[in-house]
Amino acid sequence: MFTNFDGQYIDVGEAEIHLQKGGDGPPLLLLHGYPQTHVTWHKIAPQLAEKYTVVAPDLRGYGDSIGPDDPETADYANRVMAEDMVTVMEALGYDEYLLAGHDRGARVGYRFAFDHPERIRKLAVLDIVPTLETAEAMDYAYAKAMYHWLFLAQPHPIPERLISHEPTFYVDHLIENWAEHPEELDDEAVAEYHRCFEQESVVRASCEDYRAGLSIDLDHDRASREAGERIECPVLALWGAGSGTVSFDPLDVWERWATDVTGQGLSCGHFLPEEAPERTLEELRGFLL
């Protein structure tokens, strides 16, 4: 699904990261979300590669990337996954780059910007606010809409065993519930998400990711906030205005965490690069210049 891209694996120590790389120009790192892989970018990565060198990896444990054999929650902290990408980009010869992340990849992305500000020129975050803000805003209505945060964070092996019983059913359930236009997700892409979630290691990795989200990642966010840290590079925040789960203005939230924020909601659900690729591409092109 990535014409004129080259696939490769890079050993980062505790993990082996699979990625697709293509194009020519300033380096642009694209990080996917849950329950997806790098394939989530397939509708816009070729166009971005006309002006940028696009690097689209699978996060550790997701897709065809390999995570630790017997993982602990600490192995899936956003800080750790950001370190993976530092190593990946260094291996490819890049010390400074642009970054766009969707969902879990955007969470890795903003932690990346806190921990390695010298490396990120610009940051685009798609359909998230900082993890600590999400946790603190989780009243009963929000928890019902975002139940997967609480379900996936339950101790191993409870969610793993339930999901692995019918993994494709669960992926389809998430797409149907989070997309305003689920028919816009390409059948070939969805089949790839199915293939990956049929691997028990991927299910385990994704659950550890969410366990970290409601524990270690909150500690890191809290420490950044208490220290008065702010993301100094320009930030573009885009979100799905049709998802129905956002009861606040994401720009107001991001302005508490970053000094230079722009953005808007798009007419779609959660899966911006697949439901609204033209508008997502337009916004990214304008911002990344």
For residue 57, which amino acid is it? P
144-155 burial: b if 16+ Cβ within 10 Å, else e: ebeebbeebbee
Confidence category of residue 193, pLDDT binned at 50, 70, 90: very high
pLDDT, tens digit, for every residue of 55-77? Answer: 999 999 999 999 999 999 999 99
Burial of 3 per CB tally in 10 Å (0-12, 13-18, 19+):
exposed
Say if 128 falls within a structural domain: yes
Asked if residue 217 is part of any domain, the answer here is yes
Q: Is residue 259 part of a domain?
A: yes
Residue 1 lies in a domain: no
Kindly report the three-state secondary structure assignment for every residue of 211-224. Answer: HHHCCHHHHHHHHH
CB 267, CB 278: distance < 8 Å:
no
Is the separation of the CB atoms in 274 and 185 below 8 Å? yes
Q: List C-alpha distances in Å: 112 to 96, 107, 261.
A: 12, 8, 17
Residue 280 lies in a domain: yes
Over residues 31-53, the pLDDT tens digits come to: 999 999 999 999 999 999 999 99
Measured CA to CA, the distance from residue 245 to residue 254 in angstroms comes to 17
Examine residue 148 and state whether it is found in any structural domain, yes or no. Answer: yes
Q: For residue 244, is pLDDT > 80?
A: no
Residue 82, pLDDT score: 98
For residue 46, tell me if it sits in a domain: yes
Instruction: Note down the domain range covering 78.
Output: 6-288
CATH number for the domain harbouring residue 113: 3.40.50.1820
Q: Which residues are catalytic?
A: 103, 270
| Coil, strand or helix at 162 | helix
Residue 60 in tokens: 């550790």
Question: How many domains does the chain fold into?
Answer: 1
> What is the average pLDDT value for the chain, to the nearest integer?
97
Q: What is the pLDDT of residues 222-241, one digit of tens each?
A: 999 999 999 999 999 999 99
Residue 251 lies in a domain: yes
